Structure 1
Amino acid sequence: MSDVTSTMTPVSRHSLFDDAQALVTGTLFVGIGLAMFRHAGLMTGGTVGLAFLAHYATGAAFGPLFFVINLPFYVLAWKRMGRRFTLKTIAAVTLLAWLSEVLPNWFRLQQVAPWFAAIGGGLLVGAGFIILFRHRASLGGLNVLVLWLQERFGWRAGVVQMAIDAAILLASWPWIDAPRLALSVLAAAAMNFALAVNHRPGRYMAF
């Protein structure tokens, strides 16, 4: 039997340029996807969903809300994921908060079918997350909190994450009608489909 390991490409560290372009590309994909969600009046989970909820409830700008909501989670990220991950996550969150405010000046949606916003926006957000994950960054603190709860109390991360996202979606009921809430669930499914199919352990090796 041939020696498979002799033909494997060594794992290498991402360069500063690699990480910088990934942060820009990943957050841009997410930003465009979220612009589609906002145009169609859809919701999502995680810290993005919390920012959407606060935006719909108060009318305040989404970008600053998203930035502020993530602040308490950076301490957990530093302890749980390390300095490199935390700094890149802060950069990605700050960039997305800024893009969310300036994109309407550069990219205006006149008409988007809600079902297409759900599927297309969900896939774009999922693709953006994949790019960020592969460069050891993220866009929210709830994932870090869920991992900490699993380690500290033994709570299953997947179940806790699903419960939190469901609670965020249900909390949006006063501002989102039933059809758009159902489309928001479809958007979450599209995003998770992109993640499940394209972000599997062993398919991409770099750090």
Structure 2
Amino acid sequence: MRSEEEVDVPAPAAPAPAAGPSRASAPYFDPSIHAHTAFEDAQAIFTGVLFVSLALILFAQVGLLTGGTAGAAFVLHYATGISLGKLFFIINIPFYWFAWQRMGREFTLKTFIAIAWLSALTEWSPKLFAIERLHPAYAAVLGGLLLGSGCLFLARHRASLGGATIVSLYLQHAKGWRAGKVQMGIDCVIVLCALTVVDPTRVAYSVLAAVVMNLFIAVNHKPGRYAVL
């Protein structure tokens, strides 16, 4: 029998597991993951930007455009005649601050280099070669694939071409939204705005290019699939 002094003492409760960091507060890039070498980053930025510049050349040849800040630059270029490369560089300036604050110095510096390189290529390319004949549908599909490939080269080496890409990659990290789907929405809005300065048929081909590009990114750029993202 128990004495009156004996009482049941409840077992101590197990400590609650510590809450992990939210998506938004976690570092954008996992610091435990081995980074690429400087040479690997350089060749990826060079190649990715070259792919994108080829896509922009195809679009300019047949009067198409794309989404994101490049698309905004195209719209202003068609409306004003100002150099596409200059407009693209200027439009991206506000996004450097956002990238620096949200995604880190390394990403921002690489993005700045990529944007500067693409701006230069869009200025130089017309002096390097010319395309004699090109169908808009072919330009849309090939250009969309080149854009998607180039953006993935850059993303996997912690860089981008600014603007909508920065926002879509951040939202994928912070909210879990697929980067390709986010950018598809942004791109389609910009392409539709082009109806004020571009023939509707050309806009339709441009929408096709945006769909091809962003479906390619949505399929090939998924959280957790690649170690660097």
* TM-score category (smaller protein): 0.7 to 0.9
The answer to whether the aligner puts 1:174 opposite 2:201 as a matched pair is: no
Instruction: List alignment gaps of at least 5 residues for structure 1.
Output: 1-9
C-alpha separation in 1, matches of 2:182 and 2:218? 18
**1:84-128 CA distance string (max 9 Å, x none):** 000000000000000011111222111111000000011011100
* Counterpart Cα distance in 2 of 1:13 and 1:131: 15
**Which is further off, 172-181 or 14-23?**
172-181
Counterpart AA for 1:41: G
For residue 195 of structure 1, what is the aligned residue in structure 2?
217
Partner of 1:86: 108
- Map 1:145-156; keep pairs closer than 5 Å: 145=167
- Alpha-carbon distance in 1 for matches of 2:50, 2:170: 28
Is 1:95 the counterpart of 2:125 in the alignment?
no
Aligned with 1:112 (options 134, 137, 158): 134
2-structure distance, mates of 1:127, 1:150 = 18
**Partners of 1:117 and 1:168 in 2: CA distance:** 19
1:108 maps to amino acid = A
C-alpha deviations, 1:13-49, integer Å up to 9, x for none? 1000000111100000000011101111112111011
Aligned to 2:164: 142
Q: Does 1:30 align with 2:52?
A: yes
Higher relative contact order (CA 8 A, sep 6+): 1
| 1:125 to 2:147 alignment | yes
Contact 2:36 2:157 in 1 (8 A): yes
Q: How far apart, CA to CA, are the structure 2 residues paired with 1:146 and 1:23?
A: 19
Which residue of structure 2 lines up, in the alignment, with residue 186 of structure 1? 208
User: TM-score, with normalisation over the residues of structure 1?
Assistant: 0.85
CA contact (8 A) 1:48 1:140 kept: no
2:98 aligned to which of 69, 76, 82: 76
Aligned to 2:6: none
Q: Give how far 1:157 is off.
A: 8.1
Q: Distance in 2 between matches of 1:79 and 1:206?
A: 20
* Contact 2:54 2:146 (C-alpha < 8 Å) held by counterparts: yes
Structure 2, unpaired ranges of 5+ = 1-31
Counterparts of 1:146 and 1:130, CA distance in 2: 13
Matched positions, count: 196
* AA of the residue aligned to 1:63: G
Is the Cα–Cα contact under 8 Å of residues 73 and 142 in structure 1 kept in the other structure? no
Runs of 4+ in 1 over 4 A off after TM superposition: 145-152, 156-163
User: Could you say what the CA RMSD is over the residues aligned between the two structures, in angstroms?
Assistant: 2.5
Percent of pairs with identical residues = 51
In structure 1, the partner of 2:70 is 48
More helix by share: 1
After superposing the two structures, state which structure 1 stretch, 194-203 or 71-80, moved more. Answer: 194-203
TM-score between both structures, scaled by the size of structure 2: 0.77
* Cα separation, 2, equivalents of 1:114 and 1:31: 17
The alpha-carbon distance between structure 1 residues 73 and 11, as it changes in their structure 2 partners (threshold 3 A), is: closer
Structure with higher Rg: it is 2
